Structure 1
Amino acid sequence: MTSLLQPGYAPFIVAIGIMIVIAVLESVTLLFGFSVTTHAGNLIAHQFDIDHAASGAETGFIGQLLGWLHVGRVPFLVLLALFLTGFAISGLLLQWVLHALFHFMLPPALAACIALPLTLLFVRKTGKPIGRLVPQEESSALSETDFIGRAVRIVTGEATQGNPAEARFVDEFGQAHYVRIEPEDAGVVFLRGQTVLITARVSASLYRAIKSPRHEP
Structure 2
Amino acid sequence: MLDILLSDANFWFSIALATVAILFIIEIVGLVFGISMVGLLDDMPSSNIDVESSSILSFGSWLNLDRVPLLIWLVVLLTIFGLLGFVTNFATQSIANITLPVWVTLPFSAIVGTLLTSKVSVIIAAVIPKFQTSAIQNDDFIGAVAHITIGIASKGNPAEAKFTDDYAQPHYVLVEPFEDNELFKQGERIILVKKTTHSWLATRYQ
- Shorter-chain TM-score category? 0.5 to 0.7
Question: 200, 208, 213: which one pairs with 2:201?
Answer: 208
**Matched-pair contact (CA < 8 Å) for 2:163–2:172:** yes
- How far did residue 112 of structure 1 move? 2.0
Distance 2:147 2:9 in 1: 48
Q: Secondary structure at the match of 2:179?
A: coil
Counterpart secondary structure, 1:89? helix
Please, which moves more after superposition, 6-15 or 31-40? 31-40
Q: 1:31 to 1:145 in 2, by over 3 A?
A: farther
Q: CA deviation at 1:8?
A: 0.6
Q: Deviations over 1:8-36 (max 9, x none)?
A: 10121122023224434555389346732
Question: Structure 2-normalised TM-score?
Answer: 0.65
Match of 2:12 in 1: 11
Q: How many residues align?
A: 193
Instruction: Provide closer, same or farther for how the CA distance between residues 86 and 37 of structure 1 changes in structure 2, counting only shifts above 3 A.
Output: farther
AA paired with 1:149?
A: G
Please say if 1:164 is aligned against 2:158. yes
**What RMSD in Å do the two structures reach over aligned CA positions?**
4.2
- Deviation string 1:29-71 (CA, Å, 9 cap, x unpaired) is 893467327838xx9xx96698xxxxxxxx56x654x25xxx5
> Is residue 39 from structure 1 mapped to residue 42 from structure 2 by the alignment?
yes
Q: Equivalent residue for 1:114?
A: 108
- Unaligned runs of 5+ residues in structure 1 are 51-58
Q: Is the 8 A contact 1:75 1:131 kept in 2?
A: no
Residue segments in structure 2 that go unaligned for 5+ positions in a row:
47-52
Tell me: CA distance 1:198–1:120, structure 2 relative to 1, closer, same or farther (3 Å): closer
Structure 2 partner of 1:85 = 79
Tell me which of 164, 168, 180 is aligned to 2:174.
Answer: 180
Paired with 1:170 and 1:89, the residues of 2 have a C-alpha distance of 35
User: Does the 8 A contact of 1:182 with 1:207 survive in 2?
Assistant: yes
User: Kindly tell me: are residues 120 and 202 of structure 1, through their superposed partners in 2, closer, same or farther at Cα, counting changes over 3 Å?
Assistant: same
- Check the 8 A contact 2:177/2:202 in 1, yes or no: yes
Match of 2:99 in 1: 105
Q: Give the 5 Å matches for 1:126-165.
A: 132=126, 134=127, 136=129, 141-154=135-148, 158-165=152-159
The question of whether the paired residues in 1 share the 8 Å contact of 2:152 and 2:185 is answered with: yes
CA distance in 2: counterparts of 1:63 and 1:174, whole angstroms: 22
Q: Name the SS for the 2:10 alignment partner.
A: helix
